[in-house]
Each structure stands twice: as C-alpha cells, then as structure tokens.
Amino acid sequence: MNVRDSEHMIAELSQKEKFTLTDNPKEADLIIINTCSVREKPVSKLFSEIGQFKKIKKDGAKIGVAGCTASHLGEEIIKKAPVVDFVLGARNVSKITQVINKKGAVEIDTSYDDSTYVFGEYRSNPFKAMVNISIGCDKSCTFCIVPVTRGEEISIPSHLIIQEVQKAVDSGAKEVTLLGQNVNNYGRRFSTNTFGAKNFTELLREVSKVDGLERIRFSSPHPLHMDNEFLEEFASNPKICKQIHVPLQSGSTKILKSMKRGYSKEWFLDRCNKIRDLVPNVAISTDIIVGFPGESDEDFEDTMDVLEKVRFDSLFSFKYSPRPHTEAAKYPNQVDKEIASKRLTKLQTRHKEIQKEIMDNQVGTIAEVLFEELKSDGKVAGRSDEGRLVMVKGSEELLGKIKKVKITSANITKLDGEVIN
C-alpha cells in the first residue's frame, strides 16, 4: 500500500507540477520519504534518513515526510527536524501538490476522504498494476497502529476500481493486485451512494470480466472474513492467482483473543484446510508476531503447531514491537526481549526448513510464469501463478508474456527453469 501511495504521489507531481524522477538525491529539487509505522524500527530510521538527505541535498531542495509515521507524529517531525518542509499523512496523499509549495504544511487528517479521487496513472512495473479498493481500517487489533494512521475504513466505488483496472490493462498490464487493509471486508462502508459490487467476492467477479486482464492478486484478506463463498471464488476463478496471504499473528487462541483478532486457532486451521482442499497446489503466506504480551511457552508452541500443520510458503515474522496509541503497549505482561528473540529464531529456523522442502518439491513441475524483469546475467525473472520467483535464460522478448516453464533446480528463494512453450 505504501508503494501504491508513492506511485500516486509520483503521478500527481509529474502530471500536475512537471516533476521528473531522479535516482540521484543530490540532483533532486524535492525529496519525499514515504514512511511506515507498523514497527518501531522504520520510525527510528526516519530521522537518520532525514539527516543524511540534509547533508547531501542541493540548496533550495525541499524535503517532505509522508505516510503512516507522518500521520502519527505530525508537526513533531518538523520540530525535531526543521529541515523538513512538509508532512503529509497516509490519508492525505491526494493533497501532495498543495503541500509542496507551503513551507511547514502539516496535512494529517485521518478522517479526510479521497476514496473517489481519481489519481493520475503511474506504475513502477509496466506489466503489473496495484489498485486500491479501500482505504483505512475498522479493526481494533491491540498491537496495530494502522487505524490511527489511516483512519476508518472506506471502500472505493467498484466502477472506479474497474475503470482503473481497465486503464492499466489498456497500457500493458497483465496482472493487477487489489489492495486494502482487509480486502475481503470490501463493501463495509462507502462514502457516497454507489452501484455495482457490494462485497469482495462480487468485486472479484467484476474485475475478472475486464478483457485483457490475465491475473488477479489481492492483499491482504482477513481470516475472519474468509467465508466459503469467497474461498470458492478464489479456487474456481481462473484469473485469480493461487497464492493467498492469510495473516495468523499467533497460533494461540488465548493470544488471538488478547490481540482482538476475532478468530481462534481452530478457525484459522479450518480456513487453511478448506483452501488446500479446494486448491491443492496453493501457496499460503502469513504474518506472525512472537513475544506478544502474555505469550507463554505453551502459546508459542501453538504457533509452532500451526506452522507445522499449514506449512506456509512464505512467512513475515517479527518480535512484538509496542506502538504508540495501541492497547497492547499498555499491557503489564510484556515478554522479555531475549525470550522473544529465541522464539523468533526457532520459528524462522523451522520455517526455512519447510520452505526448502516446498521449493525442492517444485523441481520437475511446470509453472506458468509472467516475466517482468531482465537480469544482467542473460536471465529473465518472473513470478509463477503461486507467486514464486522463477528465472530462465532469455531476452527482453519474454517480458510481459506468460509462459510455461519446467522447473530444473531450486533454492530457498528462487526457482530456475526452462521455457517449454
């Protein structure tokens, strides 16, 4: 979602203010740092980053801070780093052209609604497009700062989504990724009277009707809203890639309750089993937090049990990081950092073993790959339907095409193969 916000800012600035991109910050007239605040580390990195840009920027160049950290720190950023010219919150991206010429501007209104604002078109990848289908989040997970930084959840009218998908396809995109904090909660709230899709499953059906669109991905669905109708559409719709992100967070029902996730360990396993029954070759990824306040050894073993039973293709795992404005930051039973580190190491070590087994098992199989990047060693890289990185020998003629590839070798991060059609 942050990448898409960056693309929106680039589109607005290049089309309305005639800015062009540069890879050299010393040449830049405008430097924007787009931030995340889900964990503590990116926030602490922000100010060292500002300091580095201050040293190298040319006279008169402006520095702006955007995104989620901008939303929750606001004018504190300028107080702490006066070199910053403006602060633009994650919910205010459409105001970018207003703030760049207003020294000291702080636009962080999380109730601001740009769900019907039509951004200019810019994509960092010519063959893939990211399309927001909702903004904000209505969940109250006790570890998460996102509802504070991105405001309440509002769905984007389906006709605007279809319009954006069609525009991307017309300009060469073969694949679209639908984005939302909880994509499968789509339709919960619209800011205007709207027509068309009223839930996520219906939206998937509408998007799949776009001529020329070959692949659909989405991120991230919430386990709570994975009803059978949604999972059956995921399984049966040929345009939907058979890769799904199912954020676990913890395998312990006790901890899930403390996190206010709204589901149990049993519900999560039931949904993953249903997905595998419907799509045996599916790739399932997840998020896991270890060391959440009150997590006992038994709770952590519940997480390890889910890891063994689901066997995730990929895993985004972190030690719990207390965030401001969140309920869990005030919990008294914080887990010792050393214990959390040991748990994280155990989780990641076992997952790498599972991941190696999964990747090794791909050797000899046939994958359908959308090629999107030319490498310097005479190879072309792309993603399989299941989202795995695949490399083959080839030229730019493969770019933007979907080809069948026989997998010849594997390691934990990528597959190598030969094009067979």
pLDDT at res. 40: 78
Sheet of 62-67: strand order equals: 30-35, 62-67, 86-89, 105-107
At residue 377, does pLDDT exceed 80? yes
pTM value? 0.94
**Is the separation of the CB atoms in 91 and 151 below 8 Å?**
yes
Average pLDDT of span 276-300: 98
pLDDT for the residue numbered 195 = 64
Q: How crowded is residue 350: how many other Cβ atoms within 10 Å of its Cβ? A: 14
Mean pLDDT over residues 101-114, rounded?
Answer: 94
pLDDT at residue 44 in the model: 80
Give 376's pLDDT tier (boundaries 50, 70, 90).
Answer: confident
| pLDDT tens per residue across span 143-190 | 999 999 999 999 999 999 999 999 999 999 999 999 999 999 999 888
pLDDT the model gives residue 38: 80
- The pLDDT-based confidence of 96 (bands split at 50, 70, 90) is very high
- How far CA 90 is from CA of 31, 66, 148, 178, in Å, comes to 17, 7, 10, 18
Confidence of residue 197 (pLDDT cuts 50, 70, 90): low
Burial class (CB in 10 A: 0-12, 13-18, 19+), 158: buried
